[in-house]
Amino acid sequence: MALSAKFSPRPDSLSAKELEQLVYARHKFDQFRDWFISEFGGVACRDVQLSVFGRVYNVLDDEELQEMREYQQGLGKSCSEIAMKAALKVAEILS
């Protein structure tokens, strides 16, 4: 959302300059997506869990959610760490 707010043009009808800005914005979005996939194995939660934790947890099931939390604690990795890395990458792209 932050990348979109920063780089996407706003009007409904785009001028040539705004179309150029849209191409630039697309490049920034692609840059982030490609980085995220290479870092975490995909953009879907399921793909990230499989890549980072080695399996997929059903976070709507209380037992599996607890298993995931315990596994994360033992592994020293967590979903919040993934979110923080993603936020830092967005900040890097924005700067």
Model confidence band, residue 4 (pLDDT cutoffs 50, 70, 90): confident
- Whole-angstrom Cα distance, residue 47 to residue 95? 28
- Whole-angstrom Cα distance, residue 87 to residue 82? 9
Closest CA to 72 of 53, 51, 55, 44: 53
Tell me how many domains the chain contains: 1
User: Which pLDDT tens digit goes with each residue over 68-85?
Assistant: 999 999 988 888 999 999
Distances (CA, A) of 39 to 11, 72, 82, 85, 90: 34, 17, 9, 9, 14
pLDDT, position 5: 76
User: Which pLDDT tens digit goes with each residue over 27-50?
Assistant: 999 999 999 999 999 999 999 999
- DSSP assigned state of 95: -
Query: Where in the sequence is the domain holding 72, given as residue range(s)?
Result: 2-7+14-94
In the chain, what is the greatest distance between 2 CA atoms, to the nearest angstrom?
54
